Amino acid sequence: MQGFFKMPGLMIGMAFGVLAMHSVWHWACDNSERAEPPETITFCLPRRTQPGLDWGQIQEQRQHLERTRVRLHLSCQALDHITVRLVVGEITLRQAVEMADPILRRRQGFFTSVAWQYKLLSHEQIIARFLIQRAEMMYAAVDPSFWHPVAQRLEREYAALE
């Protein structure tokens, strides 16, 4: 127990962390009345001054969150499938972009979140860069000798997109 009290920085850091999370939670709850896009997942409860939700509303929100979770899970699986087919050479980068485009369009905020990372690229180039980066995360560390020729092939196909 003495060792714990010798680390006041840890205790102070934990206190600041709890305070920060509490502040973020209250901020999110206060701003939850603003118009939100559909399919968002929020972590705040109704405001304390509002009457509690009835059981039907709670169940409806739970079902909405579950549907959103399932859609996200399925889109991740679909993108994994496209990425694997791209890496093994079953499809070209252009075909992978065409297949991934509708999936990524359904993800709210995807293109706005990657816009800062891929400045001045076309819509197709953004998706192609995303797929190449996804493939790299899946395969580069596992087997670099396999990944190197694949990366060169994907970069040649990317250059052909321009």
pLDDT, residue 83, reads 96
- CB contact set of 45 (below 8 Å; sequence gap of 6+): 29
CA distance 75 to 81: 10
pTM of the model: 0.62
pLDDT of 22: 61
What pLDDT does residue 120 have? 82
- The span from the CA of 10 to the CA of 59, in Å, is 40
What pLDDT score does 116 carry? 79
Distance CA 132, CA 100 (A): 12
pLDDT in tens for each of the 162 residues of the chain?
Answer: 455 555 555 556 666 666 666 666 666 555 555 444 444 445 555 555 455 668 888 899 999 999 989 999 999 999 999 999 999 999 999 999 999 999 999 888 888 888 778 788 888 999 999 999 999 999 988 888 999 999 999 999 999 987
Which pLDDT score is estimated for 111?
Answer: 83
Are 97 and 128 contacting, i.e. CB atoms less than 8 angstroms apart? yes
Helix H or strand E segment including 78: helix 55-87
Residue 37 has what pLDDT? Answer: 45
Q: What pLDDT, on a 0 to 100 scale, did the predictor assign at position 25?
A: 62
